[in-house]
Structure 1
Amino acid sequence: MRRFASAHPVWSAILILIAAVLLWLIFAIWPKGLSDAIGSKKIFLNALFNGITLGGLYFLVASGFTLIFGLMRNVNMAHGTLYLLGGYVGFHTASATGYWLLAFPVAFIVVGFFGVLLQIVVFRRMEGQDLRQTLVTIGISIVVADLMLWGFGGNFFNISPPDWLSGPVRTFLVTGAKSSGELVYLTYPMVRIVIFAAAVVVGVAMWLALNRTRIGMLIRAGVDDRDMLSATGARIQLVFAGVFAFGAGLAGIAGVVGGTFQSVAPGEDTRFLLASLVVVIVGGMGSIPGAALGALLIGLAEQFGSVYFPTYAVVLTFIIMVVVLAFRPQGLMGRA
């Protein structure tokens, strides 16, 4: 933190200012003029919390994408298909067994295996050929999406969480609805809080694995100079296959998460592929903290846009991407 503040004093001041304003908006009693301008504070807080939890879902999808695309330089345009496949596998696993938690390892294994097939059959034969990788994976995503439509139908599926996650959490935040400052309760779904906490744990574990372990060192060295690493005797293809399987498995887990507090349906693959691209571009390719920051920004932009600018909600997301590309083309946390 100190290193970032000393290297980027202007950005540090801006972030501190944003954090201070956000804390004031959350905990202070709003004046009447502010409530008249942007509406009820409860609406604002719901949009804020929904944006944060949606950012957690986007991070789970984009973290696997940034490993495959940003770190390993494999252009996998079928990543959204991996998300949707994980959602379907998770739904049918939970429905057949009655265990919600079992859907996560099953989706991770099944989608991870599919990712290994992609790495061996497609990417290993097209290393460094970005255009061919793009075209082939787009074709694969179309074919697999049609197969899933044929196999699972066009209905919407929702994965039901267990009873202990189904209820709301009550928290005592000042809403500003009472001029006396009386505390008013705000309810929020427990499952979204748990899923966001899990996304934080996954993000921290991935960062530690990439930056503090030997396997992370091998991955980063293999990306920078694959021939030199191979000369040391490291089985680089096995390492890359494992990373691809892990990134694909994360997309499968994200599919279960998305199916839990949203839905699983045809077309979600395209939506989450596009969201992953935007998150990686905004945050910086190959950066786990960048993916987290980008996912949070895009999730908040979508939710606040849908509440306050419903007609231009999608435009707001792309405005963020355009601004980042204009002033910092490598992404907010990417390396120059």
Structure 2
Amino acid sequence: MSIISVQLLTGLAYGMLYFMIAAGLTIILGVMNVVNLAHGTLFMLGTYIAFTFISQQYSFWVAMLLSVILTAILGIIIERLLIRRVYGKELEQVLLTFGLSFVIADSVKWFWGTEMQTIPVPAMLDFSISVGEMVFPAYRLFVVLIGCLLATLLWYLESKTRIGAVIRAGVDDRSMVGALGINVGLVFTGVFAFGAALAGLSGVLGGPLVGMYIGMDSEILVTSLIVVVVGGLGSWKGSFIGAIIIGLIETLGKVWFPSLSMLIVFLLMMIVLIIRPQGLFGREVA
């Protein structure tokens, strides 16, 4: 039983990591109607930026804060200079962000090299707790806690604040929001920066779990897109539930069916799309 408990906790930790990056992706998609295929490279960039600061003897927490700020600033630059030019043009958005992902990935390869690295677990969390006869790293529980806190924050922002009301209205009718005198362009910039910051945050937190290597951006992007599709486009609640499901299936699948774990994940996505095309928590389009 303790082995199963440890695997469930591991799946939950990875699920929270997937949620943090998928939440930013689905918020950008839901509010701005932009499919950002460069989101995975922002995750990778956040990891490498934090690694650089930690290598310069900064603490893990300072490195995480600086990484989140810098990825948010990069998100603002990308939205202002590039994304703003292709609003309402789905094909151009896909091509632009897909190409941008290659530019960022190659820049990471050029600046940091191709050798696999890892971010060390912060000292205060570098211990394990007992789960029956097994032990479980405290850092993974910390990742679960951060994911739950983020879900709570998103719920509060959505349901209890004015900016949440503006974002919900923007999802429903962007033109009406603009007609009410709200600066839609500023809202879009803020949303994109917030999504980029979440990608950077998840990259830093994921560093000690998954390591750092060239190609991690593509892997995390595919998983995030699956989470978004299963949970429902534009729904952070759907991303939360979908990420937990995907994290558990992927982790348990690697234990019981190592060669079929990703196949099971794709089968789940296919079943959801057949039964409920809008996702578990997505709204049906009339």
TM-score, normalised by the number of residues in structure 1: 0.82
Q: Which residue of 1 aligns with 2:190?
A: 242
Q: What CA distance in whole angstroms lies between the structure 2 residues aligned with 1:328 and 1:102?
A: 43
RMSD: 1.2
Matches within 5 A, 1:276-291: 276-291=224-239
- Match of residue 34, structure 2, among 54, 57, 74: 74
Count, aligned residues: 284
Tell me how far apart the structure 1 counterparts of residues 219 and 56 of structure 2 sit (CA, whole Å): 27
The CA distance in 2 between the partners of 1:317 and 1:226, in whole Å, is: 34
For 1:110, what is the secondary structure of its paired residue? helix
2:172 counterpart residue number? 224
User: 317-326 vs 69-78, which deviates more?
Assistant: 69-78
Provide Cα deviations, 1:45-101, integer angstroms capped at 9, x if missing partner.
222111110001000110111111233211110000000000001111122133011
Which amino acid in 1 is paired with 2:44?
Answer: L
Question: Does the 8 Å CA contact 1:284/1:334 hold for their aligned counterparts?
Answer: yes
Distance 1:218 1:328 in 2: 28
Counterpart position of 1:294: 242
| Partners of 2:174 and 2:257 in 1: CA distance | 47
User: Rg larger in 1 or in 2?
Assistant: 1
What code does the residue aligned with 2:195 have?
A: G
Aligned to 2:65: 105
1:268 corresponds to: 216
Q: Which residue, out of 150, 163, 173, partners 1:202?
A: 150
CA distance in 1, matches of 2:104, 2:265: 28
1:161 maps to 2:121? yes
Offset of residue 223 of structure 1: 3.0
Query: What is the DSSP-based 3-state SS (H/G/I as helix, E as strand, rest coil) of the residue aligned with 1:187?
Result: strand
The whole-number CA distance in structure 2 between the counterparts of 1:268 and 1:188 is 25
2:202 match:
254
| Residue type at the aligned position of 1:249 | A
Q: 3-state SS of the aligned residue for 1:332?
A: coil
CA distances 1:274-309 after superposition (whole Å, capped 9, x unpaired):
011000000001111110110001111111111000
Q: Does structure 2 conserve the Cα–Cα contact (< 8 Å) formed by 1:77 and 1:137?
A: yes
Give the alignment's TM-score, normalised by structure 2: 0.96
Whether the 8 Å CA contact 1:70–1:285 is kept in 2: the answer is yes
> How many percent identity over aligned positions?
40
CA distance in 1, matches of 2:205, 2:26: 19
CA distance in 2, matches of 1:71, 1:279: 17
Which residues of structure 1 form unaligned runs of 5+? 1-40, 172-183
Query: Per-residue displacement from partner, 1:19-53 (whole Å, max 9, x unpaired)?
Result: xxxxxxxxxxxxxxxxxxxxxx3432222111110
The structure showing larger relative contact order (alpha-carbon pairs under 8 Å, at least 6 residues apart) is: 2
Q: Is the contact between residue 122 and residue 133 of structure 1 (CA under 8 Å) also seen in structure 2? A: no
Residue segments in structure 2 that go unaligned for 5+ positions in a row: none
Q: Distance in 2 between matches of 1:237 and 1:132?
A: 19
2:104 maps to which residue? 144
Task: State the distance in 2 between where 1:286 and 1:97 align.
Answer: 39
Q: Per the alignment, in what secondary structure is the counterpart of residue 130 of structure 2?
A: strand
Structure 1 residue 120 corresponds to structure 2 residue 68: no
Instruction: Name the CA distance, whole Å, in 1 between partners of 2:237 and 2:174.
Output: 24
Give the alignment partner of residue 49 of structure 2, picking from 89, 103, 106: 89
Give the Cα separation in 2 of the matches to 1:169 and 1:301: 24
Amino acid at match of 1:202: L
SS in 1 for 2:61: coil
AA of the residue aligned to 2:5: L
SS at match of 1:310: coil
